[in-house]
Structure 1
């Protein structure tokens, strides 16, 4: 069997010419990163991941994301949510490890204590997804931004979706004028980052970057690589639409494979959870 590095090099060559109708190439690409199941593997060997998200109004989103990562194949999935969401999320599945540690600004909680309560888990994680059902409470956003930075500085694979993209766009818009956001952007430049914007989110991010005032979504094949390059050298942008645009800044592929025409809640959360699993695996495979 070829070494992992050899297989990864071949897979990158496959990506450079892929049209997504080439089923065999897709299977080979996937096989490069999926960890093999062996009898010598210990719990967590296929990945320990976490979702930061979940608020009183949105308890389903973090569940869909974390459970999708589990169903894709990771071993352990944590959810770090706002206190009022904990009981509901725990009741959805006994397989999720739920930590109701995030706090609203109105709670009067000490920001440092809240951040430390979650950040102590960061070194134990192989991948982190931020955003599903997170909400935009000031303290929750502040805490989440600091946690993204902590994970990025460790080189942990990160996926940003939904309100995680709101945090990223806010950081870009600040232009480095906010110390917390400036540190976040600097940390992300060297981190394995994946972002999953829809039409509205992509256009907001492009506007914040000064790339386009309007109509950015229609120019996604040309603008997405610029976004990826500006955010960092290991960034992958997945622009969701009728034809998905996926790019790391140097290689761009599109996926027009048909699916359900419905646009119901939870679809993006499921995708984000699956991407969390695969980005975690890809990072581990590349390190071998």
Structure 2
């Protein structure tokens, strides 16, 4: 059977979901983190982290800008919110001192938590503050050097160009015979159409497949969001170009209402799905995780639209994540 067939991918995704009998302690279903959130954008990291827990992660952390911490803590006591960095100083004279102490503290705090995490997601609600982006870029460098699956979404996509050297180093580590089976974990990039075009232009590539083959390593994935999500996975660097990238479309019908926040919910479900890969005895695929997350997000959106019609918001979709998963686990696609 073709591994890219939707029915096969959904059966594989069902196997990825931890069975109840193995969930014997807190954290067994995943400890995940969202890195994002600023004064202007607190909803995005909340939706991503809560959808991660609604999908089944036991613990969801948010590493955010300090001014976002209290609103996020007030939204949901279920989340662990860690104020990690601050935005730039108000005047140039104090900016360098603030950035130095700010960056050092943020990196130290993130480094202390990173070994405990099963998957991380960078980007929801990150914003465009230059000092924040500089710090988060360094946090991404730290994560890329660890065996932790990573989702790169939203404003974190802007940092990929700056991470070209780190991505090249990661690729070289993978290709070296002594480390080919080493510590790399999959990276899943989740651009919308505009972000995809910008990403291709910045790396001078013509297609998502070319970008994957030139920049990333086997197992890495691009989840290209659109009317139908297109999921591209790099299979093998040694295959000829036409066969080195596997592409599958998720044609599951979602909601015709395109309210903000649905992409954040997808990121949360996806980061939990990637965390589950850490618990599999067999090697699981980021393609399976991405396809399952896309499908379940669309089903939750469809349920929310059926209930609320034009009044549907992302929080309504969030409420349907659990029912969508339950229906999926109980039907014939097992």
Q: Could you say what secondary structure the match of 2:279 adopts? A: helix
Identify the match of residue 166 of structure 1 among 148, 155, 158.
Answer: 158
Identify the match of residue 195 of structure 2 among 201, 225, 229.
Answer: 201
Aligned counterpart, 2:295: none
For residues 139 and 170 of structure 2, the distance between their equivalents in structure 1, rounded to whole angstroms, comes to 11
Gaps of 5+ in 1: 1-12, 173-181, 213-222
Give the TM-score taking structure 1 as reference length.
0.81
Cα deviation code 1:107-134 (max 9, x no counterpart): 7251212211222111110000000001
Structure-2 change in CA distance of 1:238 and 1:134 (3 Å) = same
Structure-2 change in CA distance of 1:31 and 1:119 (3 Å) = same
Cα deviation code 1:141-183 (max 9, x no counterpart): 12212212222211100000001111114434xxxxxxxxx23
Cα deviation code 1:200-227 (max 9, x no counterpart): 1100111111124xxxxxxxxxx22222
Aligned counterpart, 1:211: 205
Q: Which deviates more, 193-202 or 133-142?
A: 133-142
1:1-288 aligned at under 5 Å gives the runs: 14-16=2-4, 18=5, 20=6, 22=7, 25-38=8-21, 41-106=24-89, 108-109=98-99, 110=101, 111-172=103-164, 182-183=165-166, 185-187=168-170, 190-212=184-206, 223-230=207-214, 231-249=216-234, 250-285=245-280, 286=282
Cα deviation for residue 26 of structure 1 reads: 4.3
Whether the 8 Å contact between 1:243 and 1:255 is mirrored in structure 2 is yes
For residues 132 and 211 of structure 1, the distance between their equivalents in structure 2, rounded to whole angstroms, comes to 25
Cα deviation for residue 14 of structure 1 reads: 4.8
For residues 50 and 278 of structure 1, the distance between their equivalents in structure 2, rounded to whole angstroms, comes to 13
Structure-2 change in CA distance of 1:136 and 1:96 (3 Å) = same
Whether the 8 Å contact between 1:224 and 1:245 is mirrored in structure 2 is no
Structure-2 change in CA distance of 1:84 and 1:185 (3 Å) = farther
Whether the 8 Å contact between 1:68 and 1:273 is mirrored in structure 2 is yes
For residues 169 and 85 of structure 2, the distance between their equivalents in structure 1, rounded to whole angstroms, comes to 24
Cα deviation code 1:10-55 (max 9, x no counterpart): xxx5523x1x3x3xx3442112211111266111011000000000
For residues 186 and 107 of structure 2, the distance between their equivalents in structure 1, rounded to whole angstroms, comes to 22
Gaps of 5+ in 2: 90-94, 175-183, 235-244, 285-334
For residues 262 and 78 of structure 2, the distance between their equivalents in structure 1, rounded to whole angstroms, comes to 20
Q: Could you say what secondary structure the match of 1:41 adopts? A: coil
Q: Tell me how large the CA RMSD over aligned residues is.
A: 2.0
For residues 122 and 27 of structure 1, the distance between their equivalents in structure 2, rounded to whole angstroms, comes to 30
Q: Could you say what secondary structure the match of 1:38 adopts? A: helix
Cα deviation for residue 197 of structure 1 reads: 0.4
